[in-house]
Amino acid sequence: MIVDNSRLDIATRDVLQRLDEALALLEAYAPRQVGRLHRDVAYLWIVRYPTRGAFFSQYRCCLTELTFLARRDISPAIVASSILHEAVHARIHSFRKRLGVQRPDTQAGKEERVCRRAELAFALTLPSELGRPIIDRVRPMLEVDHQQLAVDVDWPVAKARQDIIDADALRLPNWFTRRQRALLRDRHLDLPASDR
């Protein structure tokens, strides 16, 4: 595991505690998937990133976002569900690699659906108070066409929004985020809520 904590306002030990809580839920309610996670993922990376989770196939790395882990209004079950989602991406990648097959871009939505189904299956094994928020989030996603599940992210814009939020949280001077704000305005996109 690698922890890159770039936020002085977030205690690394709190983030690791939340990660332990999420992994404990996975071990208790999805032990088979945890075994696959150990086989398919080389390491977990906790870092500030413009999405709550990601799988980087070239490194066999599952990312869990730093502030996502730090938030206490998000249950460990939701964190566990996100980790499981990325672990399913890792499993699919491992399977494709063994077969010598690359994923066509047209299959991204179908792969997302498989990951969401795994989240739903996990949520259904949890006590209802833990599983309900996951079920309520995932079920509507499974009702849309798989092509709508494959989101095309504008990463520079997502990073600019993240930088603005971080600058506000760390009370950095305005000049620090002037460039990110200009990027968002130039693309006629909404600024984060703190800038409205």
Given this model, what pLDDT does residue 153 score? Answer: 63
Looking at residue 145, what is its pLDDT?
78
* pLDDT exceeds 70 at position 129: yes
- Enter the tokens of residue 114: 């498989």
For residue 96, which amino acid is it? R
Return the domain boundaries, the chain. 2-106, 155-195
CATH architecture of 2-106: 2-Layer Sandwich (3.30)
Q: pLDDT of 81-125, one tens digit each? A: 999 999 999 999 998 888 887 776 667 888 899 999 999 999 999
Q: What DSSP character marks residue 153?
A: -
pLDDT tens column, 33-92: 999 999 999 999 999 988 899 999 899 999 999 999 999 999 999 999 999 999 999 999
By mean pLDDT, which of 22-31, 32-41, 144-153 is the weakest? 144-153
Distance CA 78, CA 89 (A): 17
Tokens 């999805």 locate to 30
pLDDT, residue 116, reads 93
Structural element, H or E, at residue 134:
helix 128-142
Q: What is the pLDDT of residue 182?
A: 65
